[in-house]
Amino acid sequence: MAVPKRKQSRSNTRSRRSQWKAEVPTLVKTVENGRVTYSLPHRAKVVTDSQGTELYLEYKGRKVADA
């Protein structure tokens, strides 16, 4: 395991941590049966019935897993 040779100052620690930034996810807009839905690209989406019950996960039009 890597162990530092000497203590790192507060300013160095905080400036290093300040470089991490959250990114806004890119959403894809799709229209299905008159409803506009937003989803993340390259991710499986949940298919629901008319009452909102989750049925299964779908990716590229194929069923990939049970919900």
In a domain, 15, yes or no: no
Counting every residue written for the chain, the total comes to 67
Number of independent structural domains in the chain: 1
- pLDDT score recorded for residue 54: 92
In a domain, 9, yes or no: no
3-class DSSP state of 63: strand
Q: Kindly give, in sequence order, each residue whose CB lies less than 8 Å from that of residue 52, ignoring residues fewer than 6 positions away.
A: none
In a domain, 60, yes or no: yes
Domain range enclosing 35 = 25-66
Nearest residue to 59 (alpha-carbon basis) of 47, 51, 48, 67: 47
In a domain, 8, yes or no: no
In a domain, 12, yes or no: no
pTM over 0.75: no
- pLDDT tens, residue order, the chain (67 aa): 889 899 989 998 888 888 888 888 899 898 878 888 888 888 988 888 888 899 999 988 899 998 7
Please measure the distance between the N-terminal and C-terminal CA atoms of the chain and give it in whole angstroms.
40
In a domain, 13, yes or no: no
**Cβ distance 56 to 47 under 8 Å?**
yes
